[in-house]
C-alpha cells in the first residue's frame, strides 16, 4: 500500500506539475487583479478535479465498452507518459503535458482562462488523465487503494491551487532555470515509471 501511495504521488505530481504551472498562470493572468486570479485558479482546480475524478471512476468502464483491455491501455499509456517524460528531460512543452505555444497564444486573447488552457490541458491534460486511469486500474477496484488514489489526487490539486495563488512569488523564486531543473529530475523518474507500466502491460497481455 505504501508503494502504491508513493507511485500515485510521484506520478500525479510529475504530470500535473504544480511548480511548472505556476509561472504559466502568472503570465496568462498578469492583467487580472488578485480577486480575479483567485476566482480563476479556484474555478480551474474544481473543473480539473471533476474531469479527473470522473475519468478515474468511469475510465475503465469506457475502455471495456470500446473493447480495449487494461493491458493494452497500460502499454499505450506507458508510451504516452514516456513521451511526456522525454519532453520534461529536454525542457520542452508539448500537448501531452500542457498547452502548446499556439494554444497559449490563443489563451492570451481569452477573458476566461480557467477552462482552457488552465483546467485542460495544463492541469487535467492527456498525461494526467492517462496516469489517473492507469493508477485506478492498478488499484483493481480495492476501496482502500482507490481511496489513496483520490486522496493523493485531491492533495496535489490543493497544492496546485496554493502555488497558483502564489504564482508571482513562485515564478520569481524558481525562474526559468529552476523550473527546468526540477522538471528534468522529475522527468527521469517519470520515464522509469512509464517503462514499468509498459513492462506490466506486456506481461499481463502475455499471461492472459
* Helix extents (H) in the chain: 2-16, 18-28, 34-66, 70-89, 101-108, 126-139, 143-165, 167-207
Tell whether the model's pLDDT for residue 78 goes beyond 70: yes
Per-residue pLDDT at 37 exceeds 60: yes
Q: Is the pLDDT of residue 97 over 60?
A: no
Name the band, by pLDDT with cuts 50, 70 and 90, for residue 1: confident
Q: Using alpha carbons only, give the angle 182, 183, 184 rounded to the nearest 5 degrees.
A: 95
Render pLDDT for 139-192 as a digit per residue (tens, 0 to 9).
Answer: 888 999 999 999 999 999 999 999 999 998 987 888 878 888 888 888 898 899
Q: Which domain holds residue 183?
A: 2-207
For residue 8, what pLDDT is reported?
95
- Between CA 96 and CA 58 the distance in angstroms is 21
- In the structure, what pLDDT confidence band is assigned to residue 131 with cuts at 50, 70 and 90? very high
Q: pTM for this one?
A: 0.85
CA 182 vs. chain centroid, Å, equals 15
Q: Tell me the three cell numbers of residue 147.
A: 481511496
Q: What is the number of structural domains in the chain? A: 1
Amino acid at each position: 500500500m505504501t508503494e502504491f501511495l508513493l507511485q500515485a504521488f510521484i506520478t500525479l505530481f510529475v504530470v500535473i506539475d504544480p511548480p511548472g504551472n505556476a509561472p504559466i498562470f502568472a503570465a496568462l493572468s498578469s492583467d487580472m487583479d488578485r480577486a480575479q486570479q483567485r476566482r480563476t485558479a479556484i474555478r480551474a482546480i474544481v473543473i480539473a478535479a471533476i474531469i479527473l475524478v470522473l475519468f478515474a471512476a468511469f475510465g475503465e468502464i469506457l475502455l471495456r465498452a470500446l473493447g480495449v483491455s487494461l493491458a493494452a491501455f497500460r502499454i499505450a499509456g506507458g508510451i504516452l507518459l514516456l513521451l511526456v517524460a522525454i519532453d520534461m528531460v529536454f525542457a520542452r512543452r508539448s500537448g501531452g503535458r500542457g498547452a502548446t505555444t499556439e494554444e497559449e497564444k490563443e489563451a492570451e486573447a481569452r477573458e476566461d482562462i480557467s477552462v482552457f488552457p488552465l483546467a485542460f490541458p495544463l492541469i487535467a491534460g492527456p498525461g494526467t488523465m492517462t496516469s489517473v486511469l492507469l493508477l485506478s486500474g492498478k488499484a483493481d477496484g480495492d476501496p482502500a487503494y482507490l481511496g489513496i488514489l483520490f486522496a493523493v489526487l485531491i492533495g496535489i490539486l490543493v497544492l496546485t491551487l496554493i502555488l497558483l495563488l502564489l504564482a508571482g512569488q513562485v515564478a520569481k523564486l524558481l525562474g526559468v532555470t529552476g523550473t527546468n531543473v526540477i522538471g528534468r529530475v522529475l522527468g527521469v523518474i517519470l520515464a522509469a515509471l512509464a517503462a514499468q507500466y509498459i513492462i506490466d502491460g506486456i506481461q499481463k497481455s502475455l499471461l492472459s
